[in-house]
Amino acid sequence: MPDRNQLKNRARDELFSHINRCGVLQAEHEEQEQWLDETMGYLTERFPDLEKAELRELHTLGLRFCRPAIQHRKDMSDGRSDEGETVTAGAEDTSAG
């Protein structure tokens, strides 16, 4: 049987993997919470040896991952950088010499 830290780490990694694969990062906050509640039900069944406090911690980590202090990069297909500057694909900075 894996030790507690390994078990918690596996559950955390699985949660983060689900978050990335399901596109929940682009969802509204309410939808993220609903998705996370449903996913925690699945993880509770998948990892029955985790205690309630560990599952609450995992839920909190999931919310923080979905809503980081520094936002995940948005799709730059609109041709703008994070600072609002126009971005040209393949453009190189030739000012350094």
CA distance 10 to 95: 47
Instruction: Report how far residue 28's alpha carbon sits from residue 32's, in angstroms, rounded to the nearest whole number.
Output: 6
Among 14-18, 26-30, 75-79, whose mean pLDDT is lowest?
75-79
- For residue range 36-95, list pLDDT tens digits in order: 999 999 999 999 999 999 999 999 999 999 887 676 565 544 544 445 554 444 444 444
**pLDDT of amino acid 9:** 95
- CB distance 87 to 76 below 8 Å: yes
CA-to-CA distance for 64 and 1, rounded, in angstroms?
A: 29
* Structural contact between residues 49 and 2, judged by C-beta atoms closer than 8 angstroms: no
Residue 74 is given by DSSP the state: P
